[in-house]
Structure formats: structure tokens, C-alpha cells
Amino acid sequence: MTPLKILVLNGPNLNLLGQREPAVYGHTTLADVEALCQAAAAERGAEVECRQSNHEGVLIDWVQAAGAAYRAGELAGVVFNPGAYTHTSVALHDAIKGSGVPVIETHISNVHAREAFRHHSHISPAAAGIVVGFGVDGYVLAIDGLLRKARAAQA
Ligand code: CA2
């Protein structure tokens, strides 16, 4: 049987992870996070592909392509940290809804314990699940949750 595949998407400024604001985001780099995701998926008999962009339109293109791959049975879903676009992007909300791909919205920090402008998410109403405030371990929790949902749907 072909292993389940997951796309891990990171949005704007997450390429700077581990280089600035360690009090909020920790010392782990994006490369470390991607290695963590690869290992977590392999332990669970799955595969991940990791991508990061600072550009809203690029993220939208990737979500749309993920929808096509999901409909073709080639992708279990997307673990997505949209960064600050979480709080601003109706376009990403529409892309997720339109694509039909299960998305697990993931945030390193507890956005609800931070500034008021981070309390609202345009992504949450379109998401299949949400992981917030577990640091970079949240990516592993999101991969686990997505695989559990995918396997339950297959059974
Ligand atoms: O907690 C999260 O994962 C966030 O999605 C991170 C975003 C923030 O805008 C969201 O409100 C919550 C920011 C990502 C920027 O990451 C940086 C990392 C190091 C240095 C500067 C920014």
C-alpha cells in the first residue's frame, strides 16, 4: 500500500524561526521543524513534503494544488501554519474551503494569550482541526491528528 502523504505548509516569516524572538517561538529553526515532521510522519508510516512561502498567492496556489491531489487520492491533507495571514487572509480561507482538502491549522504560540489582533483567525472556520500553543511539537500533533482522521475515513 502506498504511504499516506501530508503537505506541511508554513507562511510568512516562518523562515526566520530560531533566528529571532526565541522567547515566543523558541530556538528551533524551520529546517529542524521540517526534519521533525519528516521523522514524525515516517514513524507513523506516512510521508511529508514541506514548503514555506512569504507570499499569499503562492500559498493559495499550493492549497489549490493540494485540493486536486486530495481528490485524486494522493494526499491525506495539509498541516498549515499560515503565520500572520491567519488573521488577515479571506483569500486563504476561500482557497481552503474551495479546495476541500482537510487542513490542520497549526500555531507554535498560543495566539489567544497574545495581542487581540491574533485572536481572530480567518482560517479556523475552514479548518478540519486546530493546534495552538504547543510550540513546534504542535506540528507533530497536527500530523498525528490528520493521519488519525484519514485512517478513520479509510476504515
Ligand atoms: O504562533 C504561530 O505559529 C504564528 O502563526 C506565528 C506567526 C504569527 O503572526 C501568528 O500570529 C502566530 C509569526 C511567524 C513569524 O515567525 C517569526 C519567527 C522568528 C522571528 C520573527 C518571526
Q: Could you tell me the domains of the chain?
A: 4-154 (3.40.50.9100)
Best residue among 52, 111, 141 to mutate for probing ligand 1, ranked by most atoms within 8 Å of CB: 111
pLDDT by residue, tens only, the chain of 155 residues: 577 999 999 999 999 999 988 888 889 999 999 999 999 999 999 999 999 999 999 999 999 999 999 999 999 999 999 999 999 999 999 999 999 999 999 999 999 999 999 999 999 999 999 999 999 999 999 999 999 999 999 88
d(CA 20, CA 42): 29
Check 70, 107, 122, 139 and give the catalytic one: 107
pLDDT digits (tens, 9 = 90+) for 66-90: 999 999 999 999 999 999 999 999 9
Residues 123 and 80: beta-carbon distance below 8 Å: yes
Report CA(26)–ligand 1 centroid distance (Å): 11
d(CA 119, CA 51): 25
Q: Which of 25, 70, 85, 139 is catalytic?
A: 25
Residue 155 confidence (pLDDT)? 83
Query: Active site includes 122?
Result: no
Q: Rounded to an integer, what distance in angstroms lies between the CA atom of residue 76 and that of residue 58?
A: 20
Q: Please measure the distance between the N-terminal and C-terminal CA atoms of the chain and give it in whole angstroms.
A: 14
Is residue 120 annotated as part of the catalytic site, yes or no?
A: no
Residue pointed to by grid coordinates 523558541: 26
Residue bearing the CA closest to ligand 1, atom 6: 83
